[in-house]
Every structure is written in C-alpha cells, then in structure tokens.
Structure 1
Amino acid sequence: MKKHNKLLSISSSGFTLVELLISMTILSMIMLLGSWSFSLFTSNWEGRLGHFSKNVSQTKDYMLLSDIISSTVPYIYRVNKKPSYYFKSTPTELLGVSQSAIFHPNSTIAYKFSVETFSDGSQYLLYQEAALGVVADGQQINYTHEKILITNAQSISFKVYGWETFAQKLKHDDIDNPSPEKPQWRERYDSQLSAYMPLSVAISWDDAVVQFPIVNDQGTGLTQLSPSNN
C-alpha cells in the first residue's frame, strides 16, 4: 500500500500553476527583448544602407559633372558676323559645349545646367543635353535629353574662375610691362564678352564646394578667324 502511494506521488509531480506562469512571463520577456533588438538592428542597418546609397548617388553625380564640365571645349560661333566662344554662366545656369556626354556617347554636345526648385522649397540640378549642330546667332538650342543630378539640396550655385577679358590676360602676360591683374572667381561669365574661355568652374551645394578645371587650347581660335571669313 505504501509502495502504491509513493508511485502515485511521483507520477503526479510536475509544474505548479505559479511556476508555469513565471516561466511564461520570462519567455515573453526574452521574446520581447529579442524582437526589440532585431527591430533596432534592422532600423540601424536601413539607415546605414540609405546613407551608403546616398553617397553612391552623389559620387556618380560628381563623376558625371566632372566629365562634362572638364571636357568643355572652346566652341566658336558667330555673333553679328564676329567669332565668339559659346560659354555662359550665372549663379543658376551654366551653358557650354562638351566632348563628354551622357546621352550621346563619343559626340560633341551642347549642355545646360540649371538650378530648379521642388514644391517643398528644396533645390535640384537639372542637366540638359542636345547633339551639337551649327549654333547660329540668337538661335535657341532644342535640348532633347535631361537628367536630374543633384536633389534635395538647400542651395546650389555656380561660380567661374577666369579673366575678365582676353586683353587683360595679354597685358598680364606682357614680358616687358606685365599687368598685376589676375583671374578671379566671378558669379557671371560670358565668353562672348570676354573673348576668352574660363579656367575653372565651381559648383556649391549645401556645405560642399567642388571645382572642375577646364583644360583646353584656347585664346588662339578667335584670332585665327577674322570677321570677314564667312
């Protein structure tokens, strides 16, 4: 009889209700902690991934800007039968001719960069491109392709480094009596008026300032073309 009661006591032993509730509470806390940790990890990962993607996008934009602007050429067209360089810059626009293109590979193209504004007030840089034909005096270029390069910026602007006029540069290069004048950063530049191409272009957006030197053989093209050559 005693042996039977002992076996019954052993077989009926197990978790009490209190122990079961405590175990479930601890398990719930562990699952909650794990879920919160995973959520924190994924949020942090997505933030870093988004930052990385933004940096990649900015790098691609920088490379495109560098290729196009640095490959700017001293394209000559006629204004009132006089030869002039085709290049113009304001704080919000940049127009020129380049041997590097996005939409017309291995072709010389006319380009235009313009600062535009979204409805929320942020700014973006719009790039427009057209296959280069013959640019006539007063002709409006029909840009056929466009691409947004910089987005969600608080401010974007252009500056150009160059001589005020070609005559100023000649005086500076005079061996016998050189002028102290030097190239300067200018908010506006028109090669039609200066008779000379700029030396460098700077683009500022937010806290970043990037300079793109323009390397080309210039200054002799206009002198080789007389107004009488048609």
Structure 2
Amino acid sequence: MNRPRPRQQGFTLIELLVALTISGMLLALVSQAFYLITRQWETRFSAQEAALDLAAREFLVNRALEGTVPFIAPESAANRQSIPLVNGLERSFEWVTASPVWHQPPALAVLAVAEQEGGDGARWVYRERPIGSAFGMGRTEGSQATEGQSLILWPDNGERFQYFGYPSLNARLGGTGSALGRAEWSERYTGRETGQIPMAVRLSNEDGGVLSVDIPTNSLGYLQGSEF
C-alpha cells in the first residue's frame, strides 16, 4: 500500500516577494540615514575647517598690526620733517609693518573693504606690498591701492576703525594739564597730521569688536630702511 509523501516545507512566491520588498525598504532607509549622517559630518567638518582658516588669517593680520613701526616717508628728508608712513581712515588702515606675512620687513600693509567677484559681496581684505610701492598717504576714503598679495577675511558688516593716540607731537610732548595733552580715540589718524603712529587700533561695529590691537612699537624714534 502506497503511503502519501509528506509535504515539503518552504516559502511561497508571495512570501519571497514580501520578504524582498521589506529588505529593500530597510536597505533604502539605512542608505538614506548613512547619506544624511555623512552630509552632516561633511558640513560640520567644512565649517570647522573654514573657521580655523579664518582664525589663522586673523592671527596673521593681528601680528602685522602689532608689528606697526614708525617708518618715515622718503620725502621727510627733503622737507626736514619726520612723517611716519601711516594712513588711518574710518574704513581703511595703511601702515608699515615689521611682521609682514609674505615680504621681507618692512612692508606696506593695508586692511580695507573690497568688493568680491562672483557676487560674494564686500569683505575685509588684507593686502601687502614691498616697501618700494607707492604709499597712499593722504588718499581719500574708497580710493584704490596698488594690488599685491592679499588675504580675504570676514564679510563687511559695517565695521569701522578707531585709533588711540595723541592728536599731534606737541600734544604728546606737552603737559597733561591741557586737553590737547591727552591721548584719545578718533576715526582718523595719519602720519602727516599727527607725526606719529597710533598706540592702539580697533575695528568694530554696533554688535561689538572684531579686532583690537595694542601697538608696542610706539616711540618717537623713527626708522628708516637701513635699520631693518
């Protein structure tokens, strides 16, 4: 007598299709989650990298500002008047630094606002040129300086320079009893008008300060090219 064979256990076609569909959905969810996590990590890493790069640029600019020296203009010998090469205006500052980024000291430096190509708007830019370049003493606000090597810094948020120092050599050498004998903050400080470099420079807007630098080399002993 023939016995019926036992029915073999297995998956039907529908069960296999359902299992494959669920597996595909899970794989898609895992892939999407991995993509989002990777994008988030790359965004954070790029932001941190940009912040570190900007901090390094700001450090170099601060160092150049701290290295401001009372380097006299070549015309001083002819005029028999010591005129330090410094031109501090409300939206730009030109000076001679003994701590340049690229060139041999001393070098001419300028920190000012410049429009960027590609619609990126205005940004603060540090430029540096050899000492033989023409210096913009007496140049008006917004006029162009000679191009040189540059560092692009932060976006322009309406920051303005202020300079701490004596308004003139007579005020610096005079007594402290008069108003002219006191150092004070001002929005303009040029070597032609004051005969000296400022004691401190700060750049700020309504939200607070961007940078503030004390200038240690603030003396009446002027420097010339042969002294570097």
Superposition TM-score tier, normalisation by shorter sequence: 0.7 to 0.9
Partner residue in 1 for 2:93: 94
Give the secondary structure class of the aligned counterpart of 1:130: strand
* Matched residue type, 1:108: P
Q: 2:110 maps to what in 1?
A: 112
Gaps of 5+ in 1: 223-230
Equivalences for residues 47-126 of structure 1 within 5 A: 47-77=43-73, 78=76, 80-105=79-104, 107-118=105-116, 120=119, 122-126=121-125
Residue 36 of structure 1 is matched in structure 2 by: 32
Relative to structure 1, the CA distance from residue 179 to residue 159 in structure 2 (aligned partners, 3 Å threshold; closer, same or farther) is closer
CA contact (8 A) 1:115 1:157 kept: no
Matched with 1:201 is 201
Structure 2 Cα separation of the partners of residues 47 and 34 of structure 1: 20
> Offset at 1:37?
0.8
Larger radius of gyration: 1
The Cα RMSD (Å) is 3.1
CA deviation after TM superposition for structure 1 residue 180, in Å: 8.5
Number of residue pairs the alignment of both structures matches: 212
Distance (Å, rounded) in 1 between the aligned partners of 2:221 and 2:164? 19
Q: CA deviation at 1:93?
A: 1.6
Structure 1 distance, partners of 2:138, 2:19, is: 83
- Identify the range of structure 1 (60-69 vs 155-164) with the bigger mean alpha-carbon deviation: 155-164
Q: 1:87 to 1:150 in 2, by over 3 A?
A: same
Quick check: 1:123–1:156 contact (8 Å CA) kept in 2?
Answer: no
Cα gap change, 1:33 to 1:74, in 2 (>3 Å): same
**Sequence identity (%):** 21
What code does the residue aligned with 1:30 have?
L
2:185 is aligned to: 185
Q: Could you say what secondary structure the match of 1:22 adopts?
A: helix
Equivalent residues of 1:123, 1:155 under 8 A apart:
no
**Native 8 Å contact 2:199 2:218 kept in 1:** no
Q: Secondary structure at the match of 1:103?
A: coil
